A and B are shown apart, each in its own frame.
Chain A
Amino acid sequence: MSVISALRNETTSWYEASARQRIDALVDRGSLTEFVGPAARETSPHLAIFGLPTQLDDGIVVGEAALDGRAVLVAAQEGRFMGGAFGEVHGAKLVGLLRAARATRRDVLICFDTGGVRLQEANAGELAIAEIIRALVLARLAGVQVVGLIGGRAGCYGGGGLIAACCSTLIVTEQGRISVTGPEVIETNKGVEEFDSKDRAFVWRTMGGKHRYLIGGADRLVADSAAAFRAAAIGALSSPTVLDAGTLDAEQARLERRLARFGTAEDATEIWSALGIDPVDDLPALDESSFLARAGGKRESADGAR
């Protein structure tokens, strides 16, 4: 890697970058070959019904590339187009990539940035997510690593959160929010007393990357830069994990232990205190290295149990 590209990565904010910028900065310089790229013009056939503009890649880039010299498959969702949501074409590209991963035994990097199912093509999007989960799990059972990277504007919501939790390893930033039901949807359905979606600090400590890292919902917490994601992805692929019956038995035990330990907590800060972290009030404000130093040895990990 040249000095110039290293500098470029160092200063590329993952949160601010587009899907194409993220992939460019993540993989070895110039190594991406895109599949069914924008020139193929495979756009959504459904958005026109709603008078909405299409995007040439339907909001996702998929292809093959090299990561530190190793052949990998990559995908990146564009969170600014339709909230990065899964539509028919968008989803099918990731389905195809994961089926190919199993066939060619290549590891996969997925840069999530999604609000979940694209409502205008909800049935197709929902089913695509189910197909993605099946293809992902079959690839992992065949020995493929699937690494999820989460730190975009749209977070990783809805079915995206389920796909993420099927990955071998999850790399997140503090901004990388993961959940099933989004804040606005909970508030709309259950009221503002249940969930105040405008309370940004509350949203982040309930769904954000630091909390997910502390309870074992994510594996590596990194700073908001493409260089940090790149280093963590290289690290993840060099320490492979397996998916088998033992893994899921361990995950069952891990998730039951979480209910037993934290099931009565009202707020994330109670969980952090129960983990033995002290103090907890300033955790959201800490930079990554101070945070990791304070959380060290106290967090719940998902090693060998995801």
Chain B
Amino acid sequence: MELDDILASLFPAGHEVRVAHGRIAGHGVLRDGRRIHVVGLADGIALGVEDAASLAAQVLAIARQTDAAPILMPIDSSSQRMSRRDELLGLNEYLAHLAKSLLLAEQAGHRTIGLLYGGSAAGAFIATALATGTLVALPGAHPEVMDLPSMARVTKLSLDVLREKAKATPVFAPGLDNLARTGAVHATWDPAQPLTAQLEALLAEPAGDDARDLLGQQRQGRPKAAAIAARVVHEATRGG
């Protein structure tokens, strides 16, 4: 789905959302008049230091507002921008700052919902979509932690061998289905139905704690993570 169609389906009552330099900003209104902040990435942009700083500034401005309006974060990006300059300037701090800002806004009462409608990868994925409280996707979204050709170089295995192995496990290969099975994606929305109803239904569910590891266990994409984390918590809290 194109961003314009997505926004029209999400906010039939109207929205003021603009895209410039691959950054999405604005707000929309639900059918009951509830306001939704919109902050995101478009056009497959590679997330660099300026982009991360700009998005974080928007998120922090929302966090200061007391309206408790949710933040919807539509994402179509590539990876973080790979350059000497970005690393020289400390890209890790900019991306972490963006993730922290999203978590702070959520704690301040603004529920955060990622909407993956295109690509996302590597550090950019962690700092945006995976830093939201609930991540949903649309069919056709194509997240990838690392592309198979790069993986082939590092593992010294051929692409054919990697594709064959990917049939046996969702744990390493790119793609929405694989990420969903590990628990990263809460739900995939139906583009044939109005997105506004699906967003309202999601907002009606309580946000809850981070249960992505349990989801990954149920979907058999991450067989051990939930149990290991729980066991460490158990052993660490035994004494006191």
Whether chain B is bound by chain A comes out as yes
A interface residues (Cβ-Cβ under 8 A, vs B): 35-36, 42, 45-46, 49-50, 62, 64, 73, 88-89, 91-93, 95-97, 99-100, 103-104, 117, 119-131, 133-135, 137-138, 141, 158-159, 161-166, 178-181, 185-186, 188-190, 194-195, 206-207, 211-212, 215-217, 243-245, 248-249, 251-252, 255-256, 258-259, 262-263, 265, 267-268, 271
- Residue contact B145 to A166, C-beta cutoff 8 Å: no
- Residue contact A35 to B235, C-beta cutoff 8 Å: yes
A150 CB to nearest chain B CB (Å): 11
Q: Taking CB as reference atom, which chain A residue is nearest B103? A: A137
A255→B93 CA distance, assembly (Å): 8
- Residue contact A180 to B95, C-beta cutoff 8 Å: yes
> Residues of A contacting B60 with CB < 8 Å?
245, 248-249, 252
> Residues of B contacting A268 with CB < 8 Å?
88
Quick check: is B126 within 8 A (CB to CB) of the other chain? Answer: yes
- Residue contact B232 to A179, C-beta cutoff 8 Å: no
Given A180-B80, A206-B84, output 6 extra A-B contacts at Cβ < 8 Å. Answer: A36-B232, A42-B228, A123-B173, A161-B96, A166-B100, A252-B101
- Residue contact A164 to B92, C-beta cutoff 8 Å: yes
A162→B95 CA distance, assembly (Å): 7
Contact with A along B93-109 (1 / 0, CB 8 A): 11111011101100110
- Residue contact A185 to B82, C-beta cutoff 8 Å: yes
Quick check: is B146 within 8 A (CB to CB) of the other chain? Answer: yes
Quick check: is B89 within 8 A (CB to CB) of the other chain? Answer: yes
- Residue contact A190 to B232, C-beta cutoff 8 Å: no
B190 CB to nearest chain A CB (Å): 24
Q: Say whether chain A's binding surface is mostly helix, strand, loop, or mixed.
A: helix
B interface residues (Cβ-Cβ under 8 A, vs A): 49-50, 53, 56-57, 60, 63-64, 79-80, 82-84, 86-97, 99-101, 103-104, 107-108, 122-123, 125-127, 130-131, 145-146, 150-151, 153-155, 157, 165, 168-173, 178-179, 182-184, 210, 212-213, 216, 221-226, 228-233, 235-237, 240
Return 7 A-B CB contacts under 8 Å, by A number. Answer: A91-B225, A123-B171, A133-B103, A162-B123, A180-B123, A243-B100, A248-B100
A188→B122 CA distance, assembly (Å): 16
A133 contact from B63, B87, B99, B155, Cβ within 8 A: B99
Enumerate the 9 nearest inter-chain pairs by beta-carbon distance, A residue then B residue, closest first.
A96-B232, A161-B92, A165-B96, A100-B236, A130-B130, A96-B229, A92-B228, A122-B145, A92-B225
- Residue contact A95 to B229, C-beta cutoff 8 Å: yes
A190→B231 CA distance, assembly (Å): 43
A5→B87 CA distance, assembly (Å): 38
B169 contact from A42, A46, A96, Cβ within 8 A: A46
- Residue contact A180 to B84, C-beta cutoff 8 Å: no
- Residue contact A103 to B93, C-beta cutoff 8 Å: no
A240→B228 CA distance, assembly (Å): 30
B127 contact from A49, A125, A162, A267, Cβ within 8 A: A162
A116 CB to nearest chain B CB (Å): 8
- Residue contact A119 to B151, C-beta cutoff 8 Å: yes
> Residues of B contacting A212 with CB < 8 Å?
90
